[in-house]
Amino acid sequence: MQIEEILIIKNGSEHYGISTEDINQISRVPSLMPLPLRPAGVRGLCAVGGNIVTMVDMNLLLDMDEVDIELDKSRLLSLNAQYSSNSLLVSEVLNTIEVNQNNIEYIENENDPVVAIYKHEDKLIQIVDLEPLFSKIHRVAIDAKEIKNGKVKNEVAKEEESNRFLIFSMSNEKFAINIEYLREIILSDIEYTEIIGSSEEILGLITLRDELITVLDMRKYYNFDATKKESNRILIISHANKQIGLLIDEIIDIKNFPIYNIEYMKERFEDNKISGVIHNGDSLISFFDHEVLEKIFDENETFIDIKDQQSETQGLEDIAMEVIVFKLADKEYAFEVENVAEIIDAVDTTKVAYTDDLVDGIINIRGQIITIVSLFDKLNIETKIGEDSKIIVCSLHDTKIGFVVDSVSDILNIKKSELREQEDELFSNVLHLDNGKRLVLSMDINQIVASEEI
């Protein structure tokens, strides 16, 4: 190996050199996009020349304090060839010089990134080779959290000035309801007891945990096509000591919307069946709130039981947790709803260098970089992405991580009697549903990520 020209870099009080053959361009440090679960040495992602690249901190790889990106002298080096998907963050760039072979001494140590010492004026320049330098990037472990009874105790900060909605579809149109009215979501493949004299929209009564609940077909209520599909779900809605089941076509998402994106416009909708619209990027989502629910309850009050406040409170006290149930390879698993930020359709991920095999890549959601972790690999399941696949975005350690799943089935309240704790690397509980006929493994998100170094 013979180095012809080097770029001199100053990191702290030390001077280093990198062959100019490895460098594409030098630029000021752009905005840094933090990367969750990043390995040691990696600061995050940044945009260079229209491409998203990994920002690697040279100081950290040389066991020095990280580069202060706020300083005017810090620079970003775009790299060539096999390192073109990366950029090297340095404290200061001095100048480029041609190498006088009489002043360079090569070092033969394949494990050391410093491959030569060059004497330039009154300075000794340590010349660094990128291959052994980048090999110093290590996988990083997640900091341990206090665990009690298999549960990691974390307080999840709620987003201010926003409301959380469940988004669903009916006849290919999107609707939303504030999640505060949602008790749970169940499969629609269930037996109904006919109610004599009820309206066409009323499908009948169902029994849910020893309670009789009236189910209304919302598609008929809105004069949509009421085709039976496997994706149909029943939303169990509770408001003002009343509850009802609403049959819809398909669950799409759970999402927070800033209040300035929520526009009330009841007077513009016929029959007061819509409360307003949510501005979701370039599209609008119709939503309904308590006034629409009260209208539904009033129109069907003969067929809806009113629960007294005491029985409702007792029922809430018996609830151990609320979970979202999803499928992987035809088996059912669950996350606690309090950890779920939103659900979106599965999209292609962008691979990131030097991350664990467990990390599928990253996606961009409204300008925020989300790391996607593969449950398929974690469970040794063949990865298959279909049209029903979703990404469940969860909040973890003040950041967000996404998990790709085959489909989302239900949102359920789990009673204490349905809960069985177990000691396992991944599963904190087994949920015994439908009198033990349906077993769902509840995953602890913290354990999934912290069980390995990633």
- What does the pLDDT look like over 137-181, one tens digit per residue? 764 433 434 434 444 444 443 445 788 888 999 988 999 999 888
**Statement to judge: residues 65 and 128 lie in one domain:** yes
Do 322 and 339 meet the contact criterion of CB atoms below 8 Å apart? no
155 inside domain: no
Residue that the structure tokens 């909708």 belong to: 269
Q: Mean of the per-residue pLDDT values for the chain?
A: 81
**Statement to judge: residues 125 and 179 lie in one domain:** no
C-alpha–C-alpha distance, residues 301 and 303, integer Å: 5
Do 30 and 48 meet the contact criterion of CB atoms below 8 Å apart? yes
**Which of 308, 336, 367 marks a domain boundary?**
308
**Statement to judge: residues 19 and 93 lie in one domain:** yes
Q: Residue 63 pLDDT more than 90?
A: no
C-alpha–C-alpha distance, residues 419 and 321, integer Å: 9
Joined tokens for residue 375: 């449950």
325 inside domain: yes
% the chain with pLDDT above 90 = 15
Give the rounded distance of the alpha carbon of 120 from its chain centre: 50
**Statement to judge: residues 304 and 181 lie in one domain:** yes
**Statement to judge: residues 187 and 124 lie in one domain:** no
97 inside domain: yes
**Which of 116, 134, 152 marks a domain boundary?**
134
Bridge partner residues of 331 (DSSP):
328
- Residue 292's CB is within 10 A of a number of other CB atoms, namely 18
The predicted model scores a pTM of 0.52
Q: Which one has a higher pLDDT value, 279 or 143?
A: 279
Give the domain CATH number at 417: 2.40.50.180
146 inside domain: no
Give the domain extent around 189. 162-308
In this prediction, residues 188-200 reach a mean pLDDT of 84
**Statement to judge: residues 304 and 323 lie in one domain:** no
Q: Residue 38 pLDDT more than 80?
A: no
**Statement to judge: residues 173 and 211 lie in one domain:** yes
Q: Which one has a higher pLDDT value, 147 or 361?
A: 361
pLDDT band at 317 (very low <50, low <70, confident <90, very high): low
pLDDT tens-digit series, residues 340-355 = 888 888 888 887 766 7
**Statement to judge: residues 166 and 303 lie in one domain:** yes
pLDDT tens-digit series, residues 70-127 = 998 999 999 888 888 889 999 999 999 999 988 888 887 777 888 888 888 878 889 9
**Statement to judge: residues 89 and 116 lie in one domain:** yes
**Statement to judge: residues 286 and 191 lie in one domain:** yes
145 inside domain: no
**Statement to judge: residues 286 and 418 lie in one domain:** no
**Which of 281, 308, 335 marks a domain boundary?**
308
Longest Cα–Cα distance in the chain: 101
Q: What's the domain count of the chain?
A: 3
**Statement to judge: residues 215 and 329 lie in one domain:** no
Q: Residue 373 pLDDT more than 60?
A: yes
Least Cα distance to 49 among 9, 11, 68, 77 occurs for 77
pLDDT band at 132 (very low <50, low <70, confident <90, very high): confident
Helices (H), 17-129: 58-61
Angle CA 81–84–87, to nearest 5: 135
275 inside domain: yes
Least Cα distance to 185 among 177, 193, 174 occurs for 177
